[in-house]
Amino acid sequence: MRAYYFDDLPGDQRLPHDSGKSVDAATLSAIGVLHWHIPVDDESGKHIEGIDAVARERDCKNRDVIVVTKESLGDEYETKIKNFYKEHMHEDEEIRYILEGGGYFDVREHASEAWIRCHMRAGDLLVLPAGIYHRFTLDEGNKSRTMRLFKDEPKWIAHNRGPETDVNPYRIDYVKSVAVA
């Protein structure tokens, strides 16, 4: 995974938007974002051991695989891509492992309000804490096959940023956790 500050220039969201300013693992950790690279090995399935270890550590009991392509989503493709790219948060950790293709997770750096763009490709696993503002888009490859890990039943409920989410208890807890760091 490669992380850097988003350039905030207009243009297709699937372009790199690379400001040239890299972001290190310590900066990501300070905002609660964790990542690992576990090479995908479809033949032996050895990568599953690494995913299982993260799942145990994060107390995840369920997982599924989502394919985001024009072919897989059909008429809903444009709507879904736009929905994923709206700034939002979740009340659960968001854990994603890229099996094939790639995309960008943009996360808000709380102190500066800057976007940090995390370019993920096959083998990258990312953990976003509950309450962090973020968004997702495909990269120029226009394809992502992603395993999603869940603590309980698979669900994806986005709370778009606004006055209501700023006072959401999960958001408040997140802000407190990064203020201490």
Dist. CA 115–CA 23, nearest whole Å = 11
The 3-state secondary structure of 123-166 reads CEEEEECCCCCEEEEECCCCCEEEEEEECCCCCCCCEECCHHHH
Judged by DSSP in three states, 13 sits in: coil
Amino acid at 79: T
**Distance in angstroms (rounded) separating the CA atoms of residues 27 and 101:** 26
- Feature table: binding site for Ni(2+): 88, 90, 94, 134
Measured over all CA atoms, what is the biggest interatomic distance in the chain, rounded to whole angstroms?
Answer: 48
Binding site residue list for Fe(2+): 88, 90, 94, 134
Global pTM reads 0.94
Is residue 181 pLDDT above 70, yes or no?
no
Strand partners, 118: 3, 105
- Nearest alpha carbon to residue 66 among 105, 106, 96: 96
Where is the binding site, in residues? Answer: 88, 90, 94, 134
What are the extents of the domains in the chain? 2-180
CATH topology of domain 2-180: Jelly Rolls (2.60.120)
Q: CA 135 to CA 117: how far, in whole Å?
A: 9
What's the DSSP call for residue 98? E
CA–CA distance, 156 with 83 (Å, rounded to integer): 12
Give the pLDDT confidence of 153-165 residue by residue, as tens digits: 877 899 999 999 9
Q: Do 3 and 115 touch, CB atoms closer than 8 A?
A: no
Q: pLDDT tens for residues 44-100?
A: 888 999 999 999 999 999 999 999 999 999 999 999 999 999 999 999 999 999 999
pLDDT of residue 152: 87
